[in-house]
Chains A and B, each alone.
Chain A
């Protein structure tokens, strides 16, 4: 059940990336975990947003559980997020406008 409200914890998201404004809230990056293989390209394109976990999978650092699968993006993230969607070798990413 996708009951995650990406807007709910925007404050936490702001805290996670000091110095960057992520208040745009125009889109989310959806991670299809059933496809993701932890290749890591998205974490290189979005280093302020995604880090790699113990096993190499993308982790939205400092974000709550409800923002891990649909990661809220700021406007400044959109170009790199678009690249990540286009270049993900596993086609595991999609952009969702809100």
Chain B
């Protein structure tokens, strides 16, 4: 960036949001007029290579959980589009948000739907998409329809209702739901970017990722990188729940310290025994010294997944909590893949025995063995995520494991 004095006229109406208050800068339930007064219009749509380049420079990663670089998916879909007989691509905004602890996409769609639409339309224009979908749960459809009705450029977007289930937001499950009505993942040997909805190149992008694209298309990659760290640039939304004064969504910088975020949410980090970071497929960690970062190689970094922080007060038993979640996850298996269909109930059962204080010293080793035997063995990452949760519980609550095997639990309240 040049440091020479800038003599260009200053844009009087809108300005790039400063700090980390970006996605909600237009205020609650912003209509299209307020949205445009706050952010200004999106400049003329760049070609695919232009948008790919600016997203690559920005370092934006997917905010739906996997943190895959946004530019790579766009580039893969754009290159699959080439060729004489290649069908036109499909773009899908994914607002299914099946994770029970996540509500940031709901808050985003209710308050800043126009940013999501801006990003979705920018991507669709760049790809010259033939179909544009926005897939979300019933409660979010009204605000999205209101927003679409307020502008002329969004009429072509097809809204579809997502099922309320844990796996409904998995990318292949979204495509399957639009194609067959069944929101379960499918086996894939080719990427959705090559072979997605009805064989078309398909880009599935989380709604928050699209909202960031709506801002990057306006203010550029360097602006995006002005928050966060080089490894994890920009901001992200987090849904904070559990033992906090009130559940809320915060917008935080990439690489933020976990204890700072908890304090911002009104919690005292010292009063917590652990925080579940990344949701039911995430990890239990002690908050001290940890940073939330999607791609930081350091030991202190913990990937935020879809931006979920669930605080566990020191009075509650993390093993009991993990047993409850594992049982839920076993019940949410699509029951298509054997290792998941049989392995997750086995994991849940062993976890419940450990949580209940059963006198069986082989339980931790059995949980590790079961975790290893399900990981990587499904058409989606449901078994992997469940195994990761259980493994992190054995680590984060190692002292509790020892107490439980001795037949007692020193947590006052047990859920």
State the A residues within 8 Å of B (CB). Answer: 1-4, 30-38, 53-57, 59, 64-69, 94, 96
- Write out the residue numbers on chain B whose beta carbons fall within 8 Å of the beta carbon of A94: 189
CB A10 to nearest CB in B, in angstroms, measures: 16
Known A30-B189, A33-B187: A59·B376 in contact at CB below 8 Å: no
Say whether B373 contacts A54, CB under 8 Å: yes
- Write out the residue numbers on chain A whose beta carbons fall within 8 Å of the beta carbon of B343: 53-55
- Write out the residue numbers on chain A whose beta carbons fall within 8 Å of the beta carbon of B379: 32-34, 69
State the B residues within 8 Å of A (CB). Answer: 66, 68, 171, 186-189, 191, 336-340, 342-343, 346, 372-373, 375-379, 381, 384
CA distance A33 to B171 in the complex (A): 17
Known A34-B336, A57-B338: A96·B189 in contact at CB below 8 Å: yes
Say whether A1 contacts B336, CB under 8 Å: no
| 21 A–B contacts from the bound complex (CB under 8 Å) | A2-B188, A2-B189, A32-B187, A33-B187, A33-B336, A33-B337, A33-B379, A36-B338, A37-B338, A53-B339, A53-B373, A54-B346, A55-B343, A57-B339, A59-B373, A65-B375, A65-B376, A65-B377, A65-B384, A68-B376, A96-B189
Q: Which residue of chain A is the closest to B184 with respect to CB atoms? A: A34
Q: Which residue of chain B is the closest to A37 with respect to CB atoms? A: B338
CB A5 to nearest CB in B, in angstroms, measures: 12
Supply 19 further A-B pairs (C-beta < 8 A) apart from A33-B379, A69-B376: A2-B188, A33-B187, A33-B338, A34-B186, A34-B336, A34-B337, A34-B379, A53-B373, A54-B346, A55-B342, A56-B338, A57-B338, A57-B377, A65-B376, A65-B377, A68-B375, A68-B376, A69-B377, A96-B189
Q: Which residue of chain A is the closest to B172 with respect to CB atoms? A: A1
- Write out the residue numbers on chain B whose beta carbons fall within 8 Å of the beta carbon of A37: 338
- The number of residue pairs between A and B whose CB atoms lie closer than 8 Å in the complex comes to 68
Say whether B187 contacts A68, CB under 8 Å: no
CA distance A55 to B68 in the complex (A): 33
- Write out the residue numbers on chain B whose beta carbons fall within 8 Å of the beta carbon of A64: 376
CB B142 to nearest CB in A, in angstroms, measures: 31
- Write out the residue numbers on chain B whose beta carbons fall within 8 Å of the beta carbon of A32: 187, 379
CB A25 to nearest CB in B, in angstroms, measures: 18
CA distance A41 to B372 in the complex (A): 23
Q: Which residue of chain B is the closest to A94 with respect to CB atoms? A: B189
User: Within the complex, which residue of A30, A35, A66 is in contact with B376, where a contact is CB–CB below 8 Å?
Assistant: A66
Say whether A33 contacts B339, CB under 8 Å: yes
CA distance A84 to B189 in the complex (A): 18
- Write out the residue numbers on chain A whose beta carbons fall within 8 Å of the beta carbon of B381: 1
- Write out the residue numbers on chain A whose beta carbons fall within 8 Å of the beta carbon of B337: 33-34, 36
User: Within the complex, which residue of B68, B187, B342, B378 is in contact with A54, where a contact is CB–CB below 8 Å?
Assistant: B342
Q: Which residue of chain A is the closest to B375 with respect to CB atoms? A: A65
CB B136 to nearest CB in A, in angstroms, measures: 20
CB A41 to nearest CB in B, in angstroms, measures: 15
CA distance A68 to B187 in the complex (A): 14
CA distance A30 to B189 in the complex (A): 8
- Write out the residue numbers on chain B whose beta carbons fall within 8 Å of the beta carbon of A1: 66, 68, 171, 191, 381
- Write out the residue numbers on chain B whose beta carbons fall within 8 Å of the beta carbon of A30: 189
- Write out the residue numbers on chain B whose beta carbons fall within 8 Å of the beta carbon of A69: 376-379
- Write out the residue numbers on chain A whose beta carbons fall within 8 Å of the beta carbon of B339: 33, 53, 55, 57
Known A54-B346, A59-B373, A65-B375: A35·B187 in contact at CB below 8 Å: yes
- Write out the residue numbers on chain A whose beta carbons fall within 8 Å of the beta carbon of B378: 33, 69
- Write out the residue numbers on chain A whose beta carbons fall within 8 Å of the beta carbon of B191: 1-2
CA distance A31 to B188 in the complex (A): 10
